[in-house]
Amino acid sequence: MNKWRILVSVAPIALACPAYAQAPATDSSAPAPAAQQGSGGLEDIVVTAQRRAENIQDVPIAITAADADTLATARVDNVANIQAISPSISFRATNIATSSANVIIRGLGTTGNSRSFEGSVGVFIDGVYRSRAASALQNFLDIDNLQVLRGPQGTLFGKNTTAGALLLTSTKPSLDRTEGLVDLSYANYQTVLARAAVSVPLSDTLSFRIAGLAGKRDGFYKDATTGRSLNNDASQAVKGQLLFEPSADLTIRLIGDYAHSSGDCCYATSDYINGPTQPLIDALTLANGRRVPSRRLEDFQASLSARSLQSIEDYGGTALVNIGVGNGEIRSVTALRRFTLQQTDADADFSGADVLSLDEGFRSKFFSQELTYNGKIEALNADLVVGGFFSDERLNMDRNLYWGTQAQTYWDAVLAGAGIPPGTVSATNSRIAIEFMNGRSKSYAGFAHLDARLSDQFSVIGGIRYSVEEKQGAFRYGFYDPRPNAVFRVLGVSPGPAYDRSTTDKAFSGTVGLQYRPVDDVMLYATYNRGFKAGGVNIDSNGGGLVANNPAERPGAVPANPVYRPETVNAYEIGGKFEYLDRRARTNISFFYYDISDVQVAQFVGLRFTVLNARSATDYGVEIENLFQLTPALTLGLDGTWLPHAQYGADPTIDAVLSNSRFRFAPKFQGNATLNLDQPLTDEVNLTARVQYQYSGSQLINTASLAERGAVHLLNANLGLKLRSGLTVEAFGQNLTNEIYPTQAFNTPIQTGDQNAYLAPPRTYGLRVRASF
C-alpha cells in the first residue's frame, strides 16, 4: 500500500477536499432535505440511491455524491473528468462518441469501440436511462447533483446495469422565489464556457425554469504544417422546465432540452507505437505537401489530410409525474429522445497521407417509460419499491468510404513487400463502399426491492428483477467497388455478407443483503447482486464475416454469426460506513468480488469492429473514502481503489492478447488526496482553496493489443473568494505539472503493427466567476 503513503505525504501541501462529502444530493422524483450538520462535525450527505431520501451513511451501497458547486470546483464540466470526484470511476471517448464512449467503475465497464453496445455502467439523467454514454459527454447544464453507484443495479432502476450507475439530476424550479445563476469561465486554449439559469414562480403552484449554455475550446493538438489547432469544439445547449404542484399529492414536472456541438473532431492523435508502414506514411505525408508530426507526445502535433468535421445533436423531453397514494407514491418517468452524429470527410488513416477517408452518420430514436410504486409495509417495517420499465431504441447508421489520391501508391508499396507486383490491386481515387446499418433494442422489465428493518440494529434487503431484451441488427451495402481486384476484395477483408439478425435474452437477476448498525455512527453491510447485461448483434460491415463468408462473392459460403452473448456478474460485497471523532471524521470502506461470465469486449482490428465474449473473468479489490475535518475551515479527503486482480480467464476462443490478461483501463491502484479550505476573512468574504493530487497506476490501454501506459501523477488547484452576496471569483489550474500521457491506444487503420493514441489534456488554467441570486 505504498500508494497510500504517497497520498498521505502530499496531504500537507494540498488545500482542498472532495466537497462531495459535504453536499446533499437529490433526484427529480424524491426531493431530498437540505444537508444537516452536526455540532462542529461534518455535514450529512443525502442521497436517493434507494428511491428515497436518506443519509448516505445509512445506505448499503458504495456511493459518491457531488452537488453543483462541488462539480464546478472540481472542474467536472462533463463526465470526461469524473475521476476527480472518485478514483473508482473513469471515462474515455475517442474519434466517434456514439461507439467509443466508455464508463468504467472498479475496472469493469464496456470497453472498446462498438456501435451496438449499451453501457455496463448506466447513465440516468432525471431518471431517464441514456443508452449512449456520449449523451453525458456534453457539458453539464443546470445539473443539481451527481451520484455514482458502484456495483450491479437492477432492482431499483428501470434499466439493468452490471458495473454501476451514474445518476444526474437537474436543478428543480423554485415555487417560493425567483432565483438564478450566471457562471462564466475562461481558460487557455481559447476556452470559454458560459452558463446561466433562472427560475420564476408563475403562481403558488406553477414555476418555470430555463437554462442555457454556450462554449468553445481549441483543441490541444496543432497541425504540424499550418500550426492551427485540431480537435476543436463549440457547443450550445438550452433546457426548459415547468413544475406544477397543485396539491401535496400531485407533482408534474416537464423537462425539455436541446444540445448541439460541432468541430473538427476527433482524428488528431499521436503516434504511440510505430509499425513497419510508418516510413511509407511519412514519405507520403511529405509528398502530400505536409510535414511529418513530432514524435514527442508533449508536442501535441498531428498531420491530417482531411477536415474531419463532426456535428452532434442531442435533444428530447421528459415528463415526471408523482402521485401520492395512501402512505406511498406512484412515480412515472416518460421520455422521448433523439441523438444524431454526423462525421464528414474524416481522416480514416489518421495521417497526413491522403489514403483513406470516410463519412459516417448515426441516428438514435429512443422512447422509455418507467412506472414505480414507492410505499411502506407497516407489518414488516419495510420500504417497498415495485416497478416496470419499457424502452425502445431505433438506430439508423450509414458509412461511406473513399480512397484518397495516394491510396494506389500506398498499396503498391505495401504489397510489393509481400511479393505482389505493383498494379495488382486497384485503389485509385474513388468510392469504396456505401454501407447501411440499422438496429433496434426493446427492453421490458419488472422489478421489486424491499428493505425491511427487523430491529433497531438489523435490516434485510432483497430484490428481484425479470428482464426481456430484444435486439436486432442489420447490415447491407448500397454500393461496393465492383472491380475484381479491389484491394479489400483481394485481401479477403470485404465485402462481407449482408445480414439481418435478431436475438432475445430473458433473465432473472436480483439482490439480497444484510445491514447491521451496532451503534449510531457505524453501519455494516453484506450484499450479493446478480447483474445482467443483454447480448446483441454486432452491427458492422464485417459483423457477418469476411469475403470468405459472403455467398455473393463465394457461392456456398456461410456467413458468420454476428450475435454476441449476454454478460452476467455475480457480485459479492461487504462494507462499513463509520463516523468518529465527534463526527469530524468519516470512513467508508467496501470489499468486493465479481465473478463475471461472457464478458463483452469490443475490438478494432484494422478496419473491422469485432465483439468477443470472454468466457470468464474475476475482479476484486477494496475501496476506501475518508473525510476528515481538520479545522472548522479545512477538510481532508483520502480516497483510493485497489484492484489486485481484474483479469479475463484463460480462453483459447478469444484474441490471445485478452486471454488470461488484465482488464483494460484497470490500474491496480488509483487514489485522490484532496484538501478543501473555506475560511472566513470577514463577515462578508470567505477565502476558498482546493488542491488535489490524483494518482493512477500503470494500465493496459488497447483492447486489441498489450499496449501499456505508465503511472500518472496529477496536481490540480483552485484559489478564490466567495462573497455572502452569492458571487464567487476563482482561479483554477488542472494538471499543473503538465504530465503528458495517453488515455487510450488503438490499432491504426490499414497499418498493421502500428498504434496511435489519444492524449489526456495538458496543463490548463483559467478564471471562473459565478454569481447566484
C-alpha to C-alpha distance for 15 and 681, rounded to whole angstroms: 16
Q: 2-404+431-480+497-772, what's its fold?
A: Maltoporin; Chain A (2.40.170)
- Quote the pLDDT of residue 17: 35
Between the alpha carbon of residue 209 and those of residues 33, 200, 310, 320, the distances in Å are 21, 6, 31, 15
- Quote the pLDDT of residue 97: 63
- Quote the pLDDT of residue 137: 65
- Quote the pLDDT of residue 100: 59
> For 286, which DSSP code?
H
- Quote the pLDDT of residue 27: 40
Least Cα distance to 318 among 247, 366, 386 occurs for: 366
Tell whether the model's pLDDT for residue 41 goes beyond 80.
yes
The cell for 748 is 491504426
Residue spans of the domains in the chain: they are 2-404+431-480+497-772
Tell whether the model's pLDDT for residue 693 goes beyond 50.
yes
Q: What's the average model confidence in pLDDT over 364-372?
A: 96
C-alpha to C-alpha distance for 540 and 537, rounded to whole angstroms: 9
Tell whether the model's pLDDT for residue 33 goes beyond 50.
no
Q: Which pLDDT band, with edges at 50, 70 and 90, does 11 fall under?
A: very low
- What would the pLDDT profile of 295-353 be if each residue is shown by its tens digit? 999 999 999 999 999 999 999 999 999 999 988 999 999 999 999 999 999 999 999 99
The cell for 298 is 508533449
- What would the pLDDT profile of 545-563 be if each residue is shown by its tens digit? 999 999 999 999 999 999 9
Least Cα distance to 197 among 187, 207, 212, 185 occurs for: 212
Element housing 504 (H / E): strand 499-519
Instruction: Give the contacts of 156 (CB within 8 A, at least 6 positions apart).
Output: 49, 50, 51, 385, 447, 449, 463
- What would the pLDDT profile of 567-602 be if each residue is shown by its tens digit? 999 999 999 999 999 999 999 999 999 999 999 998
The cell for 613 is 465474449
Q: Which pLDDT band, with edges at 50, 70 and 90, does 7 fall under?
A: very low
- Quote the pLDDT of residue 136: 63
Whether the Cβ atoms of residue 171 and residue 68 lie closer than 8 Å to each other: yes
- What would the pLDDT profile of 65-98 be if each residue is shown by its tens digit? 988 888 888 888 888 888 999 999 988 777 676 6
- Transcribe 627-655 into DSSP letters: EEEEETTEEEEEEEEEEEEEEEPP-TTS-
- Quote the pLDDT of residue 549: 96
**Cα Rg for the chain, rounded, in angstroms?**
26
Output phi, psi for 762, to 5 deg: -75, -165
- What would the pLDDT profile of 189-242 be if each residue is shown by its tens digit? 999 999 999 999 999 999 999 999 999 999 999 999 999 999 999 999 999 999
Least Cα distance to 354 among 304, 286, 411, 404 occurs for: 404
Beta bridge partners of 311: 262, 342
- Quote the pLDDT of residue 75: 85
Mean pLDDT, rounded, of the chain: 90
- Higher pLDDT: 111 or 766? It is 766
C-alpha to C-alpha distance for 382 and 380, rounded to whole angstroms: 5
Instruction: Give the contacts of 375 (CB within 8 A, at least 6 positions apart).
Output: 325, 326, 327, 328, 329, 383, 384
The total of other beta-carbon atoms located within 10 Å of residue 753's CB is 13
Tell whether the model's pLDDT for residue 676 goes beyond 60.
yes
- Quote the pLDDT of residue 135: 63
- Quote the pLDDT of residue 77: 83
The total of other beta-carbon atoms located within 10 Å of residue 331's CB is 22
- Quote the pLDDT of residue 20: 36
C-alpha to C-alpha distance for 493 and 679, rounded to whole angstroms: 64
Whether the Cβ atoms of residue 431 and residue 404 lie closer than 8 Å to each other: no
Tell whether the model's pLDDT for residue 155 goes beyond 60.
yes
- The type of residue at 68 is A
> For 79, which DSSP code?
G
Q: What's the average model confidence in pLDDT over 168-187?
A: 95
Tell whether the model's pLDDT for residue 25 goes beyond 60.
no
C-alpha to C-alpha distance for 198 and 465, rounded to whole angstroms: 40
Output phi, psi for 16, to 5 deg: -160, 160
> For 426, which DSSP code?
B
- Quote the pLDDT of residue 99: 61
- What would the pLDDT profile of 598-620 be if each residue is shown by its tens digit? 999 988 886 788 889 999 999 99
Three-class SS of residue 133? helix
The cell for 370 is 418507467
Highest mean pLDDT among 104-108, 121-125, 317-321: 317-321
- Quote the pLDDT of residue 560: 95
Percent of residues, the chain, with pLDDT higher than 70:
93
Q: What's the average model confidence in pLDDT over 498-520?
A: 96
- What would the pLDDT profile of 454-480 be if each residue is shown by its tens digit? 999 999 999 999 999 999 999 999 999
Q: Which pLDDT band, with edges at 50, 70 and 90, does 391 fall under?
A: very high
C-alpha to C-alpha distance for 290 and 272, rounded to whole angstroms: 20
Beta bridge partners of 364: 339, 395
